[in-house]
Amino acid sequence: MSADLKTPDLFPDDHSLVPAVVQNASSGKVLMVGYMNREALDRTLNTGRVTFFSRSKGRLWTKGESSGHFLGLQEIRWDCDADALLVLARPEGPTCHTGTESCFDGRVLFRREGPKPSFETLDTLAAVIRARRAESPETSYVSRLLSGPRSALLKKLVEESAEVLAAVYEENTAAVRSEMADLLFHLLVTMERTGTGWDAVMEELDNRTGRGGLAEKRDRTKKTPYTQESP
């Protein structure tokens, strides 16, 4: 399959190069920037692996060809001036040659005071939760929830949900924020325990987009009744 972007000015000649910003299709994190010519774009589309034209090597270069850390193609977009590409990809390992997830990790030129981008906070927290699997339940609260009786995690979900409801009922803005953070944390633990990834959850939400809530509930398959696990 060759590219048919309906944008003839994207590659006006065989020597044209356009910057291609690669973004993690799951988290939205920017992974790297490379350059593509028409041939690199065609190869990317044909192989499903992101390929660039390396200016230093003077040839096509598929990310991961030596490390094995390929970038699986998900989607390509072009900007309004047709002089740059946005590549959504699923990384198969660290993207940067230094071993970090992104070529921009740890290289902060300027940061205004305030919270980090939400995807970075969630990714970091999910990674910490994942790492807790290897720790002892005797010393790690998260490890206890991940490996202990399922009823303990379910109890925490009910408890944190109730606290969100109470904060909303009381119209306490600060408490709503705090209790929602607690609930989100325990939902992340639940996702790790059940092996449920963000992509699966986002796909479910995407499938519901454009459908009325009543119709969605009507069409939803009947769930299997929950049977509590013995503690």
Residue 216's SS3 state is: helix
- CB of 129 closer than 8 Å to CB of 189: yes
| Cα–Cα distance for residue pair 154/89, rounded to 1 Å | 34
- Tens-digit pLDDT profile for residues 123-135: 899 999 999 999 9
Give yes or no: residues 148 and 193 share one domain.
yes
CA distances to 33, 80, 129 from 215, in Å = 43, 36, 36
Residue 224: inside a domain, yes or no?
Answer: no
CATH number at 24 reads: 3.10.20.810
In angstroms, the CA 110 to CA 186 distance is 32
The proportion of the chain whose per-residue pLDDT surpasses 90, expressed as a percent, equals 71
Among 114, 115, 118, which Cα is nearest to 184's? 118
Q: Which 8-state DSSP code applies to residue 212?
A: -
Same domain, 77 and 128: no
Which CATH number characterizes residue 126's domain? 1.10.287.1080
Residues in the chain predicted with pLDDT less than 50, given as ranges, are 1-2, 229-231
Half-sphere exposure of 30 (CA within 13 A, CB side): 13
* Phi and psi at residue 209, to the nearest 5°: -60, 135
* Proportion of the chain in helix, strand, coil states, percent, rounded to 5: 40, 15, 45
User: Does the residue 189 lie in any domain?
Assistant: yes
pTM for the full predicted model:
0.76
For the segment 71-88, what is each residue's pLDDT rounded down to a tens digit?
A: 999 999 999 888 999 999
What's the CA gap between 23 and 58, in Å, rounded? 24
**Residue 175 pLDDT:** 97
What pLDDT is recorded for position 120? 87
Domains of the chain: total? 2
Q: Assign residue 188 a region: left if phi > 0, alpha if psi is -120 to 50, beta otherwise?
A: alpha
Looking at the domain assignment, is residue 64 inside a domain?
yes
DSSP 8-state code for residue 49: B
Do both 142 and 75 map to the same domain? no
Here the tokens at position 56 are 């230093």
Which of 68, 57, 123, 120 lies closest to 97 in space, CA to CA?
Answer: 68
Same domain membership, residue 60 and residue 125:
no
- Among the listed residues 142, 122, 95, the one whose alpha carbon sits nearest the alpha carbon of residue 202: 122
Residues 126 and 64 in one domain: no
Domain of 166?
118-197
> How many other C-beta atoms lie within 10 A of the C-beta of residue 116?
11
Cα–Cα dist 64/88, whole Å:
16
Q: Is 146 among the domain residues?
A: yes
pLDDT score of 1: 46
What is the pLDDT, as a whole number, of residue 230?
A: 46
Q: In this structure, are 26 and 85 located in the same domain? A: yes
Map residue 208 onto helix, strand or coil. Answer: helix
